Amino acid sequence: MNNLLEITYFSDYYHYVIGLLDRLGIVADRSTLAKSSRVRAPSIVIGEVRAPRESSFLLESALPFEPRNGIIFLDGSFLRFKETVQVNRRTGTEILAYSYHYQRPGENFFVRFDSEEQPTLDSIRKPKHHLHTSAKPELHLPSTPVELEFVLQFIKANFFS
Amino acid sequence: MIKEKLKETVDNEKHELTLDDIRTEVKQFEEYYKISSEEFMKLWQEGKFEDTFWTNCWAMSWSFLKKAEQPGVIIESDAEPS
């Protein structure tokens, strides 16, 4: 599963993500996938990969419903995600922080896997790697670190088979 | 060949956020929540700010901009060749 150590260019990571989405076979629309400009320090490059490209929180706060955006799947469910990615020419790619939010409109269901770059001040109440669910969204449930590939396979296995 | 290169350039511009785009996004968060990003990050790390996909984005964008402001770093862009 872990191909990230072999990816030593940021552009290669971005194309790796496109490949993951295209090979999955359940993606209807990935047109809002985007990357950021990169910050290069000696030997490392840091950038962001995300979908949707634009924040829609202002729009959402004005609407009585939540628009679907991000990666749209064939059944209308969607995945919003954002990753901070560090690429080292020698040691490969590391995801420094992420948020993967999968939502199923009409079912009042979402699950979101989060990981923060900086250690949190209360690791019991808010572990570094945690997840949220629609059952009790304010809870930070402890989680192992996950990657986009795992989240996509999780969605496919649980909702498309 | 030229057509392909042109298409690649247009795609890169469409799909790349510049640092200015990210600064604008952060400013929108600050205006919406009526709080500076520094104050937000303090509350965020204490687990005392609402935790949504968008506030995660805010925290990540803010951290990313801080990295971009470090002395000696080079900003690379496909959208705006430096």
Determine the angle formed by the axes of helices A148-159 and A10-24, rounding to 10 degrees: 10
Per CB-CB distance under 8 Å, the chain A contacts of B20 are: none
A68 touches chain B (CB under 8 A): no
The model carries a pTM of: 0.91
**Is the peptide bond prior to A52 cis by the omega test (within 30 degrees of 0)?**
yes
Query: Can you tell me the ipTM of this complex?
Result: 0.91
Q: What is the pLDDT of residues B25-51, one digit of tens each?
A: 999 999 999 999 999 999 998 888 999
- Domain of A80 in residue numbering reads as 4-159
How many domains are contained in chain A?
1
Find the CB nearest A33 among B15, B60, B72.
B15
If one counts every other C-beta atom within 10 angstroms of the C-beta of residue B44, the result is 23
Domain ranges (residues) in chain B: 19-67
The answer to whether the CB atoms of B17 and A82 lie below 8 A apart is no
